[in-house]
Amino acid sequence: MMPLTPESLTPIPDPVLPSGSPFGFIEPPYWDDAPVYLVGGGSSLYGFDFSRLEGKGHIVGINASMFHAPCECGVSVDHPFIRNRIESLREFAKNKPLYLCVGNEWRKNGLPEVKGATYLWSVPKAGLSTEPEYVHKGATSGYVALGIAALKRARKIILLGYDYKTIGGRHHYHNGYPWYHNASNQSWSIWSRRYEPAAMDCLSLGIEIVNASPDSELSYWPKITLEDALNVSP
């Protein structure tokens, strides 16, 4: 797969960000030394004891899960989440890396600043970026977290809470999004299909992925139980 070049990117206006919040890029340390757990918000994690992830590898918290899992970094592209949990995000960024992949939409939507966060340029392209300054949108924070893991040179990735469907009448394992308007099953299906080119890129990059949500809408990777996910070998 050829790396992206500035000439190949869809033209996007220069960003206008608050002072002290520059765009950054993915840099070492890399995650090729242990499994990488991407912790989403799907209802398959309802009742899960997140402390069981301690010491299992590199743990990435996506949106609200960054406050529940013993993660080493957080990821979000979700504007309502950023706006409504701004103070919690600011506290998080004081101690751990926080990646906010919001493109040029700070100017358009007036999102508040999170000092200490790393802002990554997001590009509306399929598949995964191979350049550390860019990620591809894919519509959800879970998609961007996968892109960051690839840029961090992960070799083995375990998806947790990547349901992309309603399970047990729930959209999330938590009730922490009072502002959330429930996505329809059609929305989940559309978002899940956007992973197909990313799955092809992971294959070409030699990244092994398993999905620890047996009922997940994502069918591009082998599925295992949540219990088996806790025993994945390095």
pTM for this one? 0.88
Structure token digits, residue 95: 């101690």
Q: Give bridge partners of residue 118 from the DSSP assignment.
A: 99
Domain ranges of the chain: 24-229
Residue found under tokens 């960003």: 15
- 71 Cβ partners below 8 Å, 6+ apart? 39, 59, 60, 61, 65, 96
pLDDT in tens for each of the 234 residues of the chain? 334 343 444 444 444 445 555 578 899 999 999 999 999 999 999 999 999 999 999 999 999 999 999 999 999 998 889 989 999 999 999 999 999 987 655 555 678 888 889 988 888 889 999 988 889 888 899 999 999 999 999 999 999 999 998 888 888 888 877 766 556 566 778 889 999 999 999 999 999 999 999 999 999 999 999 999 998 877
Respond yes or no on whether the N-terminal peptide bond of residue 29 is cis (omega within 30° of 0): yes
Q: For residue 201, give Cα distances in angstroms to 8, 37, 133, 198.
A: 17, 19, 18, 5
Q: 24-229 — its CATH code? A: 3.90.1480.10
What pLDDT, on a 0 to 100 scale, did the predictor assign at position 4?
37
What pLDDT, on a 0 to 100 scale, did the predictor assign at position 23?
74
Q: For residue 227, give Cα distances in angstroms to 27, 132, 147, 231.
A: 32, 33, 25, 7
What pLDDT, on a 0 to 100 scale, did the predictor assign at position 183?
60
What pLDDT, on a 0 to 100 scale, did the predictor assign at position 36?
98
What pLDDT, on a 0 to 100 scale, did the predictor assign at position 162?
96
In the chain, the amino acid numbered 144 is V
